[in-house]
């Protein structure tokens, strides 16, 4: 499954981790850690413990109903987000906010690469040529090429999850309907342009995250036992 998530062009995931020293107080059993000196991440001292994840699924969305008769309608790319801090003991510490902001910053800065990978892997009856044909549309007088980007981001949140709703509304997401859907979820959306203005231009004093190259360690993988 990990290999599929890495190679599929329509998925992206961030693993949310805490330093073991910060996490230890919430663990009731003894920890046995076997980790090599070179198994470290720049800016982090000591081993890390997974506490959650952020996921994104890219898909082809529905065009507006008003544009059904438009022969030059463009491809609409939707990125649906999922955020989970799994353990209750790790919630309410700002991990969700920091994780989703770092994730969205990465996506917005690399969305051309992400969309290109999606086009290369997308399984559409018409194939890649069909998708590229929708992206580059031609009228009688001009050729219009759609920018390689995600059109809007979406998230579905349970109606009673007020903290998550507030988190995404603070990023500029708005509800698309006055009531929840059949599954009792609110759907919120935000355009790529509007999200960039919040996440990239107005950081509210949040520290800028650092991207580092991941190099798989040689030999056996580190072992973390509970």
Q: Does the pLDDT of residue 190 top 70, yes or no? A: yes
Q: What is the pLDDT of residue 139?
A: 43
Q: What is the pLDDT of residue 107?
A: 93
Q: In the chain, where are the structural domains located? A: 2-64+71-225
CA distance 90 to 99: 13
pLDDT in tens, 58-107: 998 865 544 444 444 567 899 999 999 988 888 888 889 989 999 999 99
Q: Are 107 and 79 in contact (CB under 8 A)?
A: yes
Closest to 58 (Cα-Cα) out of 17, 134, 113: 113
Q: Are 58 and 151 in contact (CB under 8 A)?
A: no
Which of these CATH numbers, 3.40.630.30, 3.40.50.170, 2.60.120.10, 1.10.1060.10, describes 2-64+71-225?
3.40.630.30
Among 67-76, 112-121, 173-182, the minimum mean pLDDT is found in: 67-76
Q: Does the pLDDT of residue 134 top 60, yes or no? A: no
Express as a percent the part of the chain with pLDDT over 70.
Answer: 58
Print burial letters for 115-149: b (CB count within 10 Å at least 16), e (below 16): bebbbeebeeeeeeeebeebbebeeeeeeeeeeee
CA distance 26 to 164: 23
pLDDT in tens, 29-69: 444 444 444 445 545 556 677 889 999 999 988 655 444 44
Q: Does the pLDDT of residue 197 top 90, yes or no? A: no
CA distance 117 to 112: 9
Q: Does the pLDDT of residue 198 top 70, yes or no? A: yes
């Amino acid at each position: 499954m990990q290999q599929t998530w890495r190679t599929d062009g329509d998925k992206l995931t961030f693993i949310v981790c805490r330093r073991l020293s910060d996490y230890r107080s919430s663990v009731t059993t003894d920890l046995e850690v076997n980790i090599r000196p070179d198994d470290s991440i720049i800016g982090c001292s000591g081993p890390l413990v997974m506490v959650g994840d952020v996921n994104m699924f890219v898909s082809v969305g529905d065009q507006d109903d008003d544009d059904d008769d438009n022969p030059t309608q463009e491809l609409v790319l939707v990125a649906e987000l999922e955020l989970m801090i799994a353990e209750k003991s790790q919630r309410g510490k700002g991990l969700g906010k920091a994780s989703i902001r770092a994730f969205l910053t990465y996506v917005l800065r690399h969305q051309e690469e992400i969309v290109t990978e999606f086009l290369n892997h997308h399984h559409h009856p018409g194939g890649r040529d069909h998708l590229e044909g929708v992206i580059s549309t031609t009228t009688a007088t001009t050729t219009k090429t759609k920018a390689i980007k995600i059109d809007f981001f979406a998230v579905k949140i349970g109606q009673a999850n007020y903290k998550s709703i507030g988190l995404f509304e603070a990023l500029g997401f708005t509800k698309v309907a006055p009531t929840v859907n059949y599954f009792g979820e609110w759907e919120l959306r935000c355009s790529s342009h509007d999200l960039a203005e919040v996440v990239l231009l107005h950081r509210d004093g949040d520290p800028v995250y650092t991207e580092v190259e991941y190099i798989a360690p040689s030999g056996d993988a580190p072992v973390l036992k509970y």
